[in-house]
Amino acid sequence: MYRVLIVEDEDIIRKGIAYTMDWLGMGCTIVGEAANGREGLDKIKELTPDIVLVDIMMPVMDGIEMIRRAGEDDGISDLKTIILTSYADFDYAKKAINLGVSAYLMKPVDEEELKVSIAKVISEIEKEHRLEQIEQKSSDVFIKTDKENDYIQQILDETKLHYSEKISIEIFSDKFGVSSSYLSRKFKESTGTSYLDFLNKYRVQQAVKLLETGKYKVYEVSDLTGFSDYKHFNTVFKRYTGSSPSEFVK
Give per-residue pLDDT as tens, 187-200: 988 888 899 999 99
Tell me whether the omega of the peptide bond preceding residue 245 falls within 30 degrees of 0, making it cis.
Answer: no
Q: Compute the average pLDDT of residues 164-176.
A: 92
76 and 159 share one domain: no
Q: Residue 156 and residue 88: Cα distance in Å, rounded?
A: 37
Where in the sequence is the domain holding 164, given as residue range(s)?
Answer: 138-250
The count of domains in the chain is 2
Per-residue pLDDT of 104-122, as tens digits, reads 888 888 889 999 999 999 9
**Given this model, what pLDDT does residue 141 score?**
39
pLDDT of residue 150: 84
CA distances from 65 to 8, 91, 165 (A): 14, 14, 44
If asked whether residues 109 and 159 sit together in one domain, one would say: no
Are 105 and 21 in a shared domain? yes
In this prediction, residue 99 carries a pLDDT of: 67
Within this chain, do residues 56 and 87 fall inside the same structural domain, yes or no? yes
Tell me, yes or no, whether 119 and 179 share the same domain.
no
Asked whether residue 127 falls in the same domain as residue 195, the answer is no
What share of the chain in percent tops pLDDT 70?
Answer: 85
Distance CA 127, CA 32 (A): 25
Q: Are residues 81 and 14 in the same domain?
A: yes
Predicted confidence at residue 170, as pLDDT, reads: 94
pLDDT confidence of residue 46: 92
Assess whether 142 and 28 both reside in one domain: no
139 band by pLDDT with thresholds 50, 70 and 90: very low
Report the C-alpha gap between 59 and 79 in whole angstroms. Answer: 22
